[in-house]
A and B are shown apart, each in its own frame.
Chain A
């Protein structure tokens, strides 16, 4: 269709596939992007602060708030007795009291909140509330929990073939254990909720949440109301990373209960230290393994125990531990295998979703096992990894019975190996290590194969609304939330292209349970796959109505009407989109629509952990080089090359941002980010002064990211692949490179190193 040139007023290129800046970028850099705590407060707003248990486990005998109530500005306290609805949160397992009832189960458990005129008054007063607690023995160690069979959910076993025989008849065997620490999300914006009572017992909740629908459900449940009484809104989060999937709900419920008691708007913004103490983190894991392998390092049998430290309640630990089992193969065919997964109850924070959602904890152990095998055989770990990769024609079914149909790892790893000069550098490094008495270098390539879809199949659905206004401007709303990942930007790009209008014509509005209901959490990397498609479908319906309208005018078929460059073109004429829309409005054409999408093909049985839980896999590989100081255990990441698969990129800049950001966050998990609980169960690293996420100086001098040039083989939105979580696990290459360097420092070439690889753990690995 050749449009007359004078009508070419829109952007020349389609919006998708180009690196549009984040839809809020200009507001963010100007301080004009609004987060929950920035919303102008309604007159009379009160502030709440939590009252925290200082005991890891005990009987709660009494709460004495008398001193707090005497303090300036204090309005009162809100305790379990003030809850009009269910005193237990509406979680799937129904095992978490809203406020502690007769027991406390970790240091930091919220017993109630103090409400005052100002934040600082509330916080000061909360510390003056005296809790009478009779201490009981607590379980703080995950292996102790396994011993004591202290579980939040029953153990699950995934098994295929005869691993015992596979190990017994193998020419070589290894056994070992490993401990991998958790991770604090450290979203820059702490948890915050703002609850406003409306008329007729309706509620408006502003929440920094990845799951407004769940916040709505929890608040209604605690207030004893139906869901339609509660509207939850989230324009954006200052970071989520999984930490605001369920955890935001608690804050909103506490704020709403306080608002109900005092009949005033109440805001609850956690102080950073309280945020660390109250909210769950990435699950720490402990592992034991026994593996049999042949002379090439091919695994012939594996028995693996994964113990997830879930903390005091189930929260999302079931699906997190499931995903760890699903990803304990990472990219490798395991053959005869048994994986036992324990979901351990300990008296610490209730660990929760965190980017990768158990996937990283599953993958790291198999990567450790393969490089241990390589060192035992005197082989390059990359050769052992390649030997064990899933095959294309055979050896291509996972231990949960899903065929791997879209495997691109063989060519992807081969290209990275070549581009990063892996073999030459390995030789250079060996020469260096032979010559330097103090600094040892190490290198590793590790792959990622990450399953995309919520394992809870029913979550894989999404809805959207597209409104076209009479001036041709477009507003989109969908159930997904923006936490920095660029979801809203990508959705706007997709809608712009569907309607053939410039990106700037499309705006997004805040995620709102009163617009799109029953939306799933924005999680599992699925935001764009689900919501992008739903928005695309909504826009498509508007487009089809407009096409029908044009077809009638121009006497053609609707399929002949083209939407591009801000123009709508039929055989007779090309009309600017805005003009067409105005005409159509006057002809009473519906200019808005909903859209709905559900992921095809997926199913799985959560009792046997078998089926096709994932629509497709996202792939990638990273080559990392590090140096360690054998006198102190300090380390630096020197060089990183990444080749990652995002399918056909909807927005390369955003995708690369996710890859780089995920990688650095993963690097933090495995290097500097150490959570330390003392023997009383108190989290000793509860602020950025003691808990160290990567800073600018940790970015490797050489940090190269390339995208794999192939569309998703499954029919996914725009041919793209999900990108939120998979790159996180590329950072396992850093940890493996550190182990490689530590091995070079040891006469026996063996390495026992727990994660994170702090200077102390590296030194222990070298000298231990």
Chain B
């Protein structure tokens, strides 16, 4: 089977490449086929960011820029996009881009090997924030650079550089010209049938037909896990079915009682949608991998992949999300926890794909923002009242993640609890847990124990004990079984304290300035 031509826009020019195998990574394409060695391989698994490049696509008439890991991204997936690597930022006269110049001025490079990746993440921030007139705060820089590792500097000068970029003379991308080029590419692409070794259908019917006709093809979306099957497990895919171009699956749709997140929506956009409805999830969202992974990976991919330590599933289970599976035979709609049948096993048939994830909206139509821990009550003095959105009518939601590193780490334990308290009793409760079972799991027994019961210290203690007995976690390099069990229960204790208005008891929101204020 022929592999079709990859076309993308780089340095204002159209790049066309033929005969690229379907499982070739973007980094291999850059370094080996194009001899562009500015982009580095640090880990080959999307965890260090040395290989970061920026891609852009038209969205709502403007370019949407995304920093991504080129080491685990399949080369074909950037067909039809604009691409920037670290070699593409400097001006014709060799003048450095502000993202680069700021790094020089702030002494942000030492050994220099992570530097191209940082420069590209900074370029992404420059396009998405500085050029939009937004200030790059220290907090934003830490969030958006958490997927780039540096072993030399200790990061301070790089964080300074992120803030320094805006103070340098502005450099603009000629977006109009790139949009024109991409539109020309799009028109050209429409004429190419989805045939060959890299299938990237544009519509749902096309996708379902291709899925039925090619059950052996490897399905990919953002490739943030499948990419590792290539680089680390050395798997080879004769044929790939890429779902990320299917228009129907790239949308987030709002309904009265739920939102439907298409399986091809990136984690960045999916979490944005979730955080819009539930602002208290912002920190949890930011702690999911690093930005380049969230920019490539999809919520549907995380769900379909079904890793027991994936962080989106405990959240979705606690919220009562459903997954919609599609095939030419029709669709199935089932609670997320029923999707999984064992370790990385699920109910998907050979001709089926994950279509949407349906997430119930908060009951309260206009939920007031949950007071952030650290606001409101000063110090740690509890104000004994239940903290629920919408004046106690809404949902009390907490997402806890325990990992060795604060950012960009995989959970040892993830626990998400969504409760609704009415008249002092638990009217509704959803508990999702990760890292404690072979699959993402719902704490069915603990939910049953709590449901209808007065929300008291005794109830919380009983729930803690129940959680510990409900799961039999394993010991591995992330944590021991004993630790995971103990922490599961302790997190229920934290939930109780937070429900009683205790502040400054969670390091996620802990701020020293407040703590030391007189």
Q: Point out residues on A near B: beta carbons under 8 Å.
A: 19, 21-22, 24-35, 37-38, 40, 120, 123-124, 127, 185-190, 236-241, 271-273, 425, 428, 432, 435-439, 441, 483-486, 625, 627-629, 631-636, 638-639, 653-654, 656-657, 660-665, 672, 674, 676, 684-685, 687-690, 692-699, 701-703, 758-760, 763-764
Contact = CB atoms under 8 A, between A and B. Distances in A.
Nearest to A628: B507
A674 B151 contact: no
Nearest to A30: B90
A699 B156 contact: yes
Interface string B483-497: 100110011011001
B382 to A, nearest CB: 9
Interface stretch (B110-118, B237-245, B440-448): B110-118
Contacts of B50: 188
Contacts of A272: 42-45
Interface residues on B, range: 35 or more
Interface stretch (B197-205, B213-221, B335-343, B399-407): B399-407
Given A29-B115, A239-B113, A239-B152, A696 B379 contact: no
B234 interface: yes
A478 B50 CA distance: 29
Contacts of B157: 657, 660
Given A660-B153, A664-B155, A696 B107 contact: no
B77 interface: no
18 contacts: A28-B109, A29-B99, A31-B87, A187-B151, A188-B50, A238-B112, A240-B111, A436-B504, A437-B497, A486-B110, A629-B506, A632-B491, A634-B402, A660-B154, A665-B151, A699-B156, A759-B412, A759-B479
A657 B110 contact: yes
B85 A629 contact: no
A193 B42 CA distance: 16
Contacts of A690: 410, 477-478
Nearest to A21: B104
A127 B233 CA distance: 10
B47 A186 contact: no
Residue of B153, B404, B493, B512 with highest tally of chain A CB at under 10 A: B404
B40 A26 contact: no
B391 to A, nearest CB: 26
Residue of A185, A629, A701, A703 with highest tally of chain B CB at under 10 A: A629
Contact of B234 (A123, A693, A702): A123
Interface in B460-518: 476-480, 483, 486-487, 490-491, 493-494, 497, 502, 504-507, 510, 512, 515-516
Interface of B: 35-45, 47-48, 50, 85-87, 89-90, 96, 99-101, 103-105, 107-116, 119, 138, 141-143, 145-146, 148-159, 231-232, 234, 290, 379-381, 402-410, 412, 476-480, 483, 486-487, 490-491, 493-494, 497, 502, 504-507, 510, 512, 515-516
Contacts of A485: 110
B507 A635 contact: yes
Contacts of A695: 146, 149, 155, 290, 405-408
Nearest to B232: A273
Given A241-B151, A627-B510, A639-B512, A632 B380 contact: no
Contact of B107 (A22, A437, A632): A22
A636 B509 CA distance: 11
A759 B402 contact: yes
B342 to A, nearest CB: 22
Given A30-B96, A636-B406, A484 B516 contact: no
B233 to A, nearest CB: 9
B109 A25 contact: yes
B515 to A, nearest CB: 6
Contact of B158 (A271, A435, A633, A696): A696
Given A31-B116, A189-B40, A239 B151 contact: yes
Contacts of A662: 154
B155 A438 contact: no
B142 A696 contact: yes
Contacts of B112: 22, 24-25, 27-28, 33, 236, 238, 484
Contact of B405 (A25, A120, A687, A698): A698
B402 A694 contact: no
A636 B155 CA distance: 16
Given A21-B104, A685-B477, A699-B142, A661 B154 contact: yes
B26 to A, nearest CB: 15
A31 B486 contact: no
Contacts of A629: 505-507
Contacts of A123: 234
A698 B111 contact: no
B477 A676 contact: yes
Contacts of A701: 138, 512
A699 B146 CA distance: 11
Contact of A696 (B100, B103, B113, B407): B407
B155 A699 contact: yes
A758 B480 CA distance: 12
A189 B502 contact: no
Contacts of B110: 22, 484-486, 657, 661
Contact of A484 (B38, B86, B111): B111
B155 A696 contact: yes
Nearest to B479: A760
Given A29-B119, A38-B37, A684 B505 contact: no
Given A186-B149, A188-B40, A695-B290, 20 more contacts: A21-B105, A22-B110, A26-B96, A29-B119, A31-B119, A272-B43, A435-B380, A435-B381, A439-B504, A486-B110, A632-B491, A660-B156, A688-B48, A696-B407, A697-B408, A699-B154, A702-B512, A759-B479, A763-B487, A764-B483
Contacts of B38: 30-32
A746 B108 CA distance: 41
A188 B232 contact: no
Contacts of A32: 38, 87
Given A123-B234, A236-B112, A692 B89 contact: no
A696 B37 CA distance: 25
A432 B477 contact: no
A703 B156 contact: yes
A654 B109 CA distance: 10
Contacts of B380: 435-439
Contacts of B119: 29-31
